[in-house]
Amino acid sequence: MSKAPRETERLSKIVQAFPRITVTVLGDMVADEFVFGEISRVSREAPVLILRHRERTVVPGGGANAVNNLADLGASVLPVGIVGNDEPGRLLLRSFRHKRIPVTGILRDKNYATVTKTRILAGMPHTWRQQVVRLDREPDADLAPHAKRELALAARQYLRASDALLVSDYGYGAASPEILNAARGKDAVPVVLDSRHRMLEFSGITAATPNEPEVEEALRVRIRDWDTLSSAGTQIMLRMKLQSLIITRGRDGMVAFSGKHKPVDIPIFGGDQVTDVTGAGDTVIATFTAALAAGATAEEAAHLANYAGGIVVMKRGTATVSRQELLEAIQKTTPQTRSH
């Protein structure tokens, strides 16, 4: 049997094992709201479009999108986070219940406003919907001490029954280094991190999945070419004492770092004609974490995450990838790498 069919078979077996794993997600639960309006005319009050409201949807975003992706990949997922006693929070919980995702680890706090990102999209009937503006509603204060304690306790309880921990830190407080440290016990499961602005503040992490700008921000460097990218990845690995790292690069795919192995440059799956990158990072970390939990090597997990990322960016809005879609992609295209 040649190498390519063996790789395809191995990746397929990993994906087929997803229903046998359980992943706890400690994350900032975000409601992604999409409001679509049909272009009516230009306002007389200001040089702006008037949109005739047509539809509105609210879907899981941020850490909640990582939860959603894990569920659609077939894994059992245990989310830990916080929402407010408001409509966006109720809609998030409803979407989880609809997929039979446990919500006992989601703290509902009447003094907390659910993080909500509202995207206004405009277009004509049967045409492309263009995002016009985004409005973010974010907490203006740190989480209360009692909320932090409850989140850490919920995560600690869930970890006893989990094969991996996914930490989705968007900077809103529910997935802070403090809460993570309080949540961890003696259970040694892989911990995979996606942190928007404070990656280097975390310790005891197994793997991380930053994008290129996040690496540049963390190290205060400018990535210009393969050598500077390789050097930056090596620095992150050493400073965080990681076992593996993937740096996502948008249309340029991703690079996987693992132990003392040379970095592996993986081109984007499906070409670079991207439709929408909203939430793609959540899909990548969900797939990468599920693969590690199922026994994949870092390179195998990176290839699977790359397939999933390539699929999801061809969908509009905050979307997920199903286990069947991932299996079909593996059968369609063998894993690719670029040499340097």
pLDDT recorded at residue 330: 92
SS3 72: helix
CA gap 4, 161 in Å, rounded: 35
Lowest pLDDT segment from 180-189, 213-222, 292-301: 180-189
User: In which order are the strands placed within the sheet that holds 207-208?
Assistant: 106-109, 76-84, 22-27, 164-169, 191-195, 207-208, 244-248, 254-258, 264-266
Domain boundaries, the chain: 3-31+60-114+139-332
pLDDT recorded at residue 1: 43
Average pLDDT score over residue span 282-293: 95
Which tokens in the block code for residue 125?
């009937």
SS3 330: helix
62-116 confidence digits (pLDDT tens): 999 999 999 999 999 999 999 999 999 999 999 999 999 999 999 999 999 999 9
Q: Per-residue confidence at 277, pLDDT binned at 50, 70, 90?
A: low
pLDDT recorded at residue 3: 60
CA gap 192, 180 in Å, rounded: 12
Average pLDDT score over residue span 254-260: 91
Average pLDDT score over residue span 143-149: 95
What CATH number does the domain located at 3-31+60-114+139-332 have?
3.40.1190.20
CA gap 279, 309 in Å, rounded: 10
Average pLDDT score over residue span 151-158: 96
Residue 113 near residue 59 (C-beta atoms within 8 A): no
Going by the DSSP 8-state scheme, the letter that residue 338 receives in this structure is: B
- Concerning whether 32 is annotated as a catalytic residue, the answer is no
105-136 confidence digits (pLDDT tens): 999 999 999 999 999 999 887 777 889 999 99
- Whole-structure pTM value: 0.92
Question: How confident is the prediction for the chain on average, in pLDDT?
Answer: 92
Q: Percent of the chain beyond pLDDT 90?
A: 78
Q: Percent of the chain beyond pLDDT 70?
A: 95
Element housing 42 (H / E): strand 29-42
44-61 confidence digits (pLDDT tens): 999 988 999 999 999 999
